[in-house]
Amino acid sequence: MLIRYWMSKPAITIEKDQSMQQALALIKEKRIRLLPVTDAGKLCGVVSDRDLKRASASDATSLDVHELLFLISKIKVSEIMTREVITVHQDWSIEEAADLMLHHKISGAPVIDDDGAIVGVITQSDMFRATLYLTGLKKRGFQIALVLEDTPGSIMEIVNVIRQFGGRMASILSTYERAPNGYRNVYLRFYEVSRDRIEEMLDVLRQKAKLRYLVDHRENRRIVFDKL
């Protein structure tokens, strides 16, 4: 999934010569946590709600409210912004952006196009929303985790069992991470299987794979088959 489809847009920015008070008001009004900072329309920094709160708190201990308000009206955004900006391209995948943000321990980044212009912002909240869409959690059905032998058609065989019990697939994910050699971990989310037939379906699946767990999101019921 490309960032361009999930980023927050248009990008809400602030000029570097605007005040800290204006930045605080903009973040509160727009309910955002990250503000790209521009100089004549070009990206030159970034300021977060955490930066603004930290800057306010550092000078607040000995000031009354009126003095503090006066102070933040005089401080320029350029004085508190982060100048070394980490950006992502709008045609990067969500996973690439997540990897970069995790590496740099940041919660969001400005998104740019081929010309380097700011076209949006990608944040952890945007990624959470994309993940929920990708995995089909909102369907409030079931998720089952299995360990499958890594052979052609093994996943489809499991899918066909679920379909035989009336299930419709919402998502299929698999990985070799933390799986024994020659096997893969598979995570399937499905819905429309009658809850009074779940045990019968599990009995069939046990003959084809090692079961890890089953989650019934509608009933908030969890069965862990493998504690390892």
Q: Using one digit for the tens of pLDDT, what is the confidence trace for 163-193? A: 999 999 999 999 999 999 999 999 999 999 9
DSSP result, 73-141:
HHSBHHHHSBSS---EETTSBHHHHHHHHHHHT-SEEEEE-TTS-EEEEEEHHHHHHHHHHHHTGGG--
pLDDT of residue 12: 93
pLDDT of residue 53: 73
Mean pLDDT of the chain: 90
Would you say residue 37 has pLDDT above 70? yes
Can you list the domains of the chain with their CATH numbers?
Answer: 3-131 (3.10.580.10), 136-224 (3.30.70.260)
d(CA 72, CA 67): 9
Global pTM value: 0.78
Residue with token string 């400005």? 110
Residue with token string 């991470």? 177
d(CA 213, CA 22): 50
Q: How far is CA 52 from the centre of its chain?
A: 23
d(CA 144, CA 188): 5
Label residue 143 by pLDDT band (50, 70, 90): very high
pLDDT of residue 228: 61
Would you say residue 73 has pLDDT above 80? no
Who has greater pLDDT, 160 or 226? Answer: 160
d(CA 33, CA 123): 9
